[in-house]
Each structure stands twice: as C-alpha cells, then as structure tokens.
Amino acid sequence: MSTTLHRISSQRMFSGNHQRFSHYSQVNQCDMTFAVYHPELATGQHLPVLYWLSGLTCNDENFSTKAGAQRIADELGLVLVMPDTSPRGDDVADDPDGAYDFGLGAGFYVNATQTPYAKNYQMFDYVTKELPAIIEDNFNVTDKKSISGHSMGGHGAIICALKNPGMYQSVSAFAPITNPTQCPWGQKAFTGYLGADTDTWFEWDSCEMIKVLEAGDPFFTLPLKVTQGLADNFLEQQLKPEALTEACQRRGKELDYQGAAGFDHSYFFIATFIEEHLRFHRKYL
C-alpha cells in the first residue's frame, strides 16, 4: 500500500534540500512526521541513507537545526532521515503525569504491548519497517542504510541493528542508554510499554542481548562506534557506558569507543563529533 506524504516545509541547503513531511502511519495508527536531507550531487543519482534517532523530549527538528550534519552529508553524498521520537496527537496516550521521560517524545523505539500504549507506540516497527519502505519508495536512495542516534536514540540505533541482522551497514551512538533494564529511564519506560515481566525487557536491552548472541551472529562483524561525553550529568545513573564496553569485550565484539573529556549531553557535544560519525558510516555505505 502506497503512503501519501504531505510536505510541511522545504529549504534549499548546500547542493540539496532539507524537507519535512507528515503521513499517516499504519503501524502507529496516527500521523507521523519525519525530515529528509537529500544532496543533489548528480541528477537522478541514488544515494545511501543514514537514519538518525533522537533522544528524550526531541523531535525531528533538534538534530536538523543543531547538529550541523547536512554540510558533511552533502560532501559525502549521504541522505539523512530523521524521524520523530514518538507518535503524537490528541488521541495518543501520554504519561498520566505529563512527565518528560515517558509518553509523547519518549517512545524508546520499542513495540509497546501494554494498554493504552500498544495502539500507537510501535516505534521499532516504524523505524525499521514502515519508514524505510516510505523512503525507498519516494526518494532517490539505494537499499544501503546505516543508523545512529543520541541517548534514547542511541539505545534505539543499537537495538535496531541487533534485532535486524544484515539490515544496516554500520551503527553508531552518542551517549546511548546502553543498559536500560538497569537505569531509571529504561525501567520506567519498559514497565509502561512492556509490562511488569522483566524477562521481556531483556529483548530491548543492548547489553543483555549482546551477552546471549549466538556465535556467528552478524552483529559481531557490524562496525559499531560510540562516543560518550565524560562530563555528562547522566553518565553514571542513566547511560552506563561501561556496561556496553564490558559486554562487548566479554563476547569479543569490536567496539570503537571514545570517551570525550569535558563534553556533556547536549547538542554542542553532538555537533563536535557528528562529522567523525558521518565519515565513519560513509566508509561502509
């Protein structure tokens, strides 16, 4: 079934265009918004795609306006796709107390199973199935794709790669929530979206999944890069990068990990290292 896209805006940028679109999502059963930056290096040329997943409280516009990624994407010939972080709308269930770390703006890139969130919060299927199909049907792109993200989106990027062997050419993350079953943000989100049975949580936790990967799983050879600001206020309680580095080391999974002294959790941090990450991905696309 084809999807009708409604263009919200379009701005000329470098050689290409930065555009925002809305559409009705079949998996989330509501309108969704995403942004695309598409260089025009050659008329009709099909380019590979980098999907960017943003963090808590963000939407597609945070990365678009703050990271400065389009200049490098233009040089490298990369299409950037930036979805929203959750479903939205008057009929979409939110945190009953209006908290920032659950509900609208905080979809956690899982497929919710609990009422009332199961109706709309199918962000994993949206990011890995519905949105790529839309992009490949409507834009001049190849089927080569990589994925990256920040914080909650870093968690999402790694989970998408782990649960979809062979889909992505590379994966990277900025300050990811590496071990959500063991941190307050993740525990709250997983209880609300997945229920009280903690055994089901492990299927959405990067560290726990890496621990039980079968030998020969494609994830072991997938290029993985993580950059973490060492002045990040959320470092010890929420992000726990040592859990990821230890899980990878224990299983012999190569990880390009960089601890960046003096950097916090903000888009100043992302803007500093985004070029490094885009060049990393381009090597494999």
Known catalytic residues are 151, 232, 265
Q: Where are the alpha helices (DSSP H) in the chain?
A: 60-66, 69-76, 123-125, 131-138, 152-162, 184-194, 206-211, 241-251, 267-284
Within 10 angstroms of residue 139's Cβ, the number of other Cβ atoms is 16
Closest CA to 138 of 36, 281, 43, 10: 36
Residues 6+ apart with CB under 8 A from 263: 229, 230, 231, 232, 269, 272
Query: 3-state DSSP call for residue 282?
Result: helix
Query: 3-state DSSP call for residue 134?
Result: helix
Pairing type for strands 79-83 and 47-53 reads parallel
Place of tokens 């963090």: 55
> Half-sphere exposure of 168 toward its Cβ, with a 13 Å CA cutoff?
30
Identify the sign of the CA torsion 159, 65, 70, 80.
positive
CA atoms of 154 and 139, how far apart (whole Å): 25
> Half-sphere exposure of 159 toward its Cβ, with a 13 Å CA cutoff?
29
Residues 6+ apart with CB under 8 A from 131: 34, 51, 81, 83
